[in-house]
Structure 1
Amino acid sequence: MSGKAERRAAREAVARYHETNLAELVRYVGDAVDRFRAGELDAFEVDEVIFQYSRSAKELWKFCNLGGDVEFTASWIDDGDAPIDWWERGAPRRRRP
């Protein structure tokens, strides 16, 4: 494969990864809204989920746009040795007493 074709394939792999993981994050928000409508969560709890979604999506975006080195990112994704829990990456840090 030529350099151009390799970069295109890498961009496509990273885009698929980004979309798949972003869809998983969106499901957390959808579930929270559904639970709010069912009376299981209050508005503040849903707001916390939305805040965590925002932080998680930002972390995912930063990973997928690592300084323009799309080939490195794609190779890391292909290796799949250490899957990242993007939801947990966006969790607020808890203060220790």
Structure 2
Amino acid sequence: MSSKSERQAARATVAAYHESQLADLVHRVGKAVDRFRTGEVDAFDTDATIFQYSRAAKELWKFCNLGDVEVVARMIGDDVPADWWERGEPRRP
């Protein structure tokens, strides 16, 4: 059984990872909105980016909340996590 301090450290690792990955996803949405505002892309393209963000953020949340926080922290340390943006890409037939 792990100690309280080990669980706290694992929670801090997962929280920091979640925040940094979520910031990357939000940054992508910000860039898409900026391109929309300048007329570079239309509302549909921007909406597709926002939809992909939503799916990616959900996948990230599921990963960070798998269950045992120490297992997730170990996976993060082993560099196992995926490209969340790619994981949020809608499936095409």
Q: TM-score range with shorter-chain normalisation?
A: over 0.9
Aligned: 1:90 with 2:74: no
Structure 1 residue 79: Cα displacement? 1.3
Alignment of 1:11-26 (within 5 A): 11-26=11-26
RMSD: 1.0
1:7-47 CA-to-partner distances (Å, cap 9, x unmatched) read 00000000000000000000110000000011011011100
For 1:79, the equivalent position in structure 2 comes to 78
Which residue identity lines up with residue 63 of structure 2 in the other structure? F
For 1:61, the equivalent position in structure 2 comes to 61
Report the secondary structure of 2:82's partner residue. Answer: coil
Residue identity over aligned pairs, in percent, reads 68
TM-score w.r.t. structure 2 length? Answer: 0.95
Once residues 58 and 15 of structure 1 are traced to their aligned partners in structure 2, the CA distance between those partners, rounded to angstroms, is 15
Q: Flag structure 1 segments of 5+ consecutive residues without an equivalent.
A: none
Q: Flag structure 2 segments of 5+ consecutive residues without an equivalent.
A: none
Report the secondary structure of 2:92's partner residue. Answer: coil
Once residues 29 and 89 of structure 1 are traced to their aligned partners in structure 2, the CA distance between those partners, rounded to angstroms, is 15
For 1:32, the equivalent position in structure 2 comes to 32
Once residues 77 and 62 of structure 2 are traced to their aligned partners in structure 1, the CA distance between those partners, rounded to angstroms, is 18
Structure 1 residue 84: Cα displacement? 1.2
Report the secondary structure of 1:16's partner residue. Answer: helix
TM-score w.r.t. structure 1 length? Answer: 0.91
